Structure 1
């Protein structure tokens, strides 16, 4: 039986083993998928031990995405744009390949929610890896303008500089007054029940507020957006399942149906 795993530290909270077991059952694929707690300073050793024991591929989560990027011998364009890898696999030639499915997962979930990405203007809050990983796929989906707002403007400007003129950046106090139809929180502020210091005026034309974090209750950002009258608010649970489906398709060459798995996971997480 082919072995797959998610590598992280911490990793006990990961929903990936459950998601991939549901995908495997749905698509009649014989595989196992486990969570592996890798030492912070020994990710590479942990990965190669897994491969030596028959491992075929893996997902990579915090804090190892950049290390996986360095480890991969062949990187996809998405991984190069993201500067990080969340999906590793060994191809038929025995080459260790790295990909990043986070952006594809976000675009798929936004599409599921009915967001219009073609010619859209999007505001992304936060300038960490979560932000950088989704910009390329959003541009490829037809987004006209992406603006990155961050507490430290220089970090946002550094990411914007990696892309073309359609991506701009600033601190929160200098966000352009534009018709932002979609506002995405890519910060971890929700972990502390905080929200990014965005002015209310930037939600005026927002039809969908999206937080990449997820949990039983809405994040502080989503609660605030709802109070400001944003008609649709969504967390990142759908992105989690959708990016997992993209990884599964890379490994197994079959694309699972996200809808029933997301329905099961939502019932579990929100219970």
Structure 2
């Protein structure tokens, strides 16, 4: 039997694939526990510049596997352990140091949307559907997932989705800020591939330090600090900026050395 989540490397791009297509990639506790290990592999692989997260079989994920709920939530202790596994996976993805893109086809709901929200960007097929469904189960969305939902769509739209549990189409997801790009389903792979090539050609130093900077802002930092000043000063002194300057003056494409 193949693993329920796999990491596939193709050149400078790694794909983290939710791999239970027969169950619409519903996330089991085993999968939640596996994701941090796969993320560590991709983070430590210096050849990987970008991580794509997607589901096998034309569906992103139908959410957490409800078939496990009777066991996972059978005691307060088991509930806490299950919640910790989910948080380790989604928080780990949110903290992943390299750019991440959720490539969304089909349904992306509940815990599946939590995974997508932990990515930097969400590219959707135009026939995909997204939603947050805890109100239909009498449970709540975890704090980390709720925070990322609010950051993506704002508090009132987040409440609408949390209260109603309704699914929205890709066009509405784009309008609300939940999706970053929506394209015809047949063109999604090509669009992602082209965008990935653009990111891989750019400075990885800039990507990773910019991601840290955005994280500080989202955590509430509003004024310059020693850390953020050093980020800028370090970048100016780094080989990537030296190469970028020389390439600009020489009217050629840069070959950034840092990875």
Q: Give me the TM-score of the superposition, normalised by structure 2.
A: 0.27
Q: Compute the TM-score of the two structures, normalised by the length of structure 1.
A: 0.26
Greater helix fraction, Structure 1 or Structure 2: 2
